[in-house]
Amino acid sequence: MQINIDADRIVADLEKLATFSDTESPVITRVVYSESDNKARAWLKEQCEASGLTVRKDPLGNLFACWQGTDTAAGAVGTGSHIDAIPHSGRFDGTVGVLGALESIRALQRSGFKPRRSIELLAFISEEPTRFGIGCLGSRMLCGSLTPEKAAALKDREDQPLTNFTGTLAEVKLPANYYSSFVELHIEQGPILEKENIPLGIVTSIAAPAALRILIEGEGGHAGAVLMPARRDAFLGAAEIALAVEAAAKATGVIDSVGTCGLVEVFPGLANSIPSKVKLELDIRDSDLARRDSMLQAIWKACDEIRARRKLKITSSTINADAPCTCGSEVVAALESSCQKEGIVYKKMVSRAYHDSLFMSRIAPTAMLFIPCKNGFSHRPEEYAAPQDLANGALVLARTLATLSTGLYSGS
């Protein structure tokens, strides 16, 4: 079967989608449920319907566009990504996995392919945490890892709850075996593919962050009057914890282990006052859950030691700790054989950023396909993916969807 991707169409669709923005293209701002986001979704729905797909929306706003297969009882093959965008970002993050996948479906239609399992394009709602402070809201609810009760308690910055929908949040969770597999096309958001001049990346695991908050309490006082031996400086304890985070990440000896102490708040925050209190927020990531937990253990151990030696009070809480995922081997195999059939070189890799696929992997075998992006830039207006890379991604995605849809597809 010959599959012909219309790269110009993907580029034009991305350009059109970029016009739905609160900022002027190429600067994109499309926060979930904003007018721009709602208009973009309405436009996307039209595009899917114009391609003969049956479109439905769930109460949260996740959009499903289905190409009905001959076996309606079998679980569908899912593909898709998100179209919301953080303020002042670019036009390729997420959108490539929606509009690229739409072109994959159109290309399969043009080729005469008939799906056995339905092929369904999914545009997730609220992948970015901009509005509600939690990433992958749509996919978390689809897979049931965020309960309707917890979702109902979410508030945005204006203290508004999730209200922009019809129906109940309890209806969002997908029935068991709804998808037989899921595959997401996405820009790499890192520099590896471009640097190594490799056109495609097949993701074999997705790292997930554990976010922690640590509060360190000591004793404040006059920066001149309190002598050094008597001090219980909260900031010095915090500084040692930050170094312990770096040491824990480096100690695994694996490049996928990363630890960041990106938020530090010092009280009272005056040069002539000994810090009495410090708040730290940490982000610890790894593609392997056991290894990530070993980093956490090392950090807790360091906290205990610092607490005792510096006579500080140290309390910690977990803000969020999603488990990393290993991608579905059958989806990875389908992606590999599709690359081979199309003669496109690929590299197996870890996704260090997390995506909706992390949550989809909890309900169906899932993998991701990465295309290079210029300089690894993402979440900024300079984000760019070349037409040839978009075409390669859509082509391999199309062949993979066909393979997963038939289960028997030989590709000849």
Residues that bind Zn ion (CB under 5 A): 93-94
Q: Which residue is nearest to Zn ion (CB)?
A: 94
CB of 204 to Zn ion, least distance (A): 18
CB of 70 to Zn ion, least distance (A): 33
CB of 140 to Zn ion, least distance (A): 15
Nearer to Zn ion, 85 or 236 (CB): 85
CB of 192 to Zn ion, least distance (A): 17
Please choose, from the candidates 366, 323, 361, 362, the residue with its C-alpha nearest in 3D space to the C-alpha of residue 208.
Answer: 323
Cβ atoms of 306 and 256 closer than 8 Å: no
CB of 347 to Zn ion, least distance (A): 20
Task: Give the integer Cα–Cα distance in Å for 24 and 13.
Answer: 17
Nearer to Zn ion, 86 or 334 (CB): 86
Nearer to Zn ion, 85 or 396 (CB): 85
Q: Provide the token pair at 360.
A: 């989809």
Task: Give the integer Cα–Cα distance in Å for 161 and 43.
Answer: 25
Provide the 3-class DSSP secondary structure of residue 288: coil
- Residue 140's CB is within 10 A of a number of other CB atoms, namely 24
DSSP state of 316: E
Nearer to Zn ion, 355 or 399 (CB): 355
184 phi and psi, to 5 degrees?
-120, 125
Task: Give the integer Cα–Cα distance in Å for 204 and 332.
Answer: 7
Task: Give the integer Cα–Cα distance in Å for 404 and 366.
Answer: 11
Alpha-carbon torsion (267, 273, 275, 276), positive or negative: negative
CB of 311 to Zn ion, least distance (A): 45
CB of 379 to Zn ion, least distance (A): 9
Q: Report in angstroms the alpha-carbon separations of 233 from 228, 244, 361.
A: 9, 17, 45
Nearer to Zn ion, 94 or 218 (CB): 94
Nearer to Zn ion, 93 or 233 (CB): 93
Calculated CA dihedral for residues 190, 194, 196, 201, nearest 10 degrees: 70
Nearer to Zn ion, 180 or 205 (CB): 205
Nearer to Zn ion, 93 or 389 (CB): 93
Alpha-carbon torsion (337, 343, 348, 350), positive or negative: negative
Cβ atoms of 323 and 286 closer than 8 Å: no
CB of 93 to Zn ion, least distance (A): 4
